[in-house]
Amino acid sequence: MGKCLSCCEPSQSNGRSYDDNQSGLTESGGGSSSSSCSSSKSPQLETVQQSKETRRLHSSGPKSQGAALAKSYGIGSADVPHKKFQTNTKMPPMKRQTNGDSKRMSLLCRDYSEPEIHALFDHYRDIGHDMILAEGIEKFCKDLDVKPEEFIVLILAWKFQAETMCCFTRCEFVQGCKALKVDSIKGIRSKFNDLILEVQNKQSFRDFYRWTYKFGLETGQRTLPIEMAIILWRLIFTRTEPPILQHWLEFLQKHPDIRGIPKDTWDMFLNFTEQVGDDLTAYDDTEAWPSLFDDFVEFENDLRNQNVKSD
C-alpha cells in the first residue's frame, strides 16, 4: 500500500509554476516575442495553460485535488481538511406520511384501552368480591344479547381462559378482552363471528374441547359428573354434531351406574368420534380405548342385532 500511495504523489516537475512554463515557451519562440508575451497572453498559450492545469489536477492524489478544488473556490486549505473533503451527493426524497397513514396508525395503536376494560369489569363485578359472579354473568350476557347457556358464551369463556363456571376473575376478564382487543360490550359482540370461525379450525376446536372438561368441574372434583358431561357434550357439538353423539348420550342415560367421566375418557371421545365412522364398523377393540367405549359399542351392536331379529 505504501508504494501505491507514493505513486500518486505529484512529481517535482508537475509542481512548477505557470511562470516557469511560460518562460520556457517564450525561449523556444525567439527573442523578439519575449516582451510581447509577458505583457499579453495568446490563445495558444491559454490552451497550453489549461491543458497543463488539467493534467496536474488529474495526476495528483486526493490530497492535492482537494487543495486545488478548495483553492479554486477561494477557500483556504486549513478550512477544508483533505481527508474529509466530499463531493455533494443527492439524497433520495423521503416518503411523506399522508393523513390517511396517520389515521390508520392511530387506530392500530388504539385498539383497546385497558382502563376501559377495568371499568367494564367493575360494572359487572360482585359487591365485596373482585369477581363477576352468577348475577353479574347474567347481566353481562343480557347486555350482550345472548343467553348464558348459548354456545357463544362457552367460547367466550374459553377465550377468557376462565377456570370456573359462572365466574370471571379480574385477571381472566382483562386478559380475555386484551386478547380480543376490545374494551366494550359493542366490541365484544363484534368478535362473535370471529370466535365461531376460530373454533372451526381443527386444532383450535381440540384446545377448546379439552379446556371445557376442567371448566365443568366444581371445586374439589376430579371427575366430571355425568349430568354435566352430557350438558357440555350437547353444547360443544352444537354446530358440528358427530353421527354417534345421540347414541352415546342415550347409552350414558340408560346406565345410571355410570356416574362420572374421567379426563382420559373425555379427551379420547373426540378421537373416537373421528375414527369409528357413522355405524361403528371401523371400531377396533384391540386398540387402547377406554373400557367405557367397549361397553358402548357392545350395547349398540346388541340393539342393532335385536332390531334385525325383530324385523
CATH number where 121 lies = 1.10.238.10
Give the pLDDT confidence score for residue 128 in this predicted structure: 92
Would you tell me how many other CB atoms lie within 10 Å of the CB of residue 232?
20
Indicate whether 220 belongs to any domain.
yes
Residues 254 and 171 in one domain: no
CA atoms of 14 and 253, how far apart (whole Å): 111
For cell 370471529, what's the residue?
194
The confidence score (pLDDT) of residue 146 equals 97
d(C-alpha 193, C-alpha 209), whole Å: 19
- Does 145 have pLDDT greater than 80? yes
Domain of residue 265 covers 202-303
Answer whether residue 11 shows pLDDT above 80.
no
pTM comes to: 0.64
Residues forming a β-bridge with 261: 224
Q: What angle do CA 113, 116, 118 make, to 5 degrees?
A: 115
What is the tally of structural domains in the chain?
Answer: 2
Residue 55: inside a domain:
no
Q: How confident is the model at residue 276 (pLDDT cuts 50, 70, 90)?
A: confident
Q: Is 245 helix (H, G, I), strand (E, B) or coil?
A: helix
Question: What pLDDT score does 169 carry?
Answer: 97
Q: Which of 168, 198, 228 is the last residue of a domain?
A: 198
Q: Binning pLDDT at 50, 70 and 90, where does residue 84 land?
A: very low
Higher per-residue pLDDT: 222 or 72 = 222
Average pLDDT of span 236-246: 93
All residues at 6 or more sequence positions from 280 whose CB lies less than 8 Å from its CB, including other chains: 244, 297, 300, 301
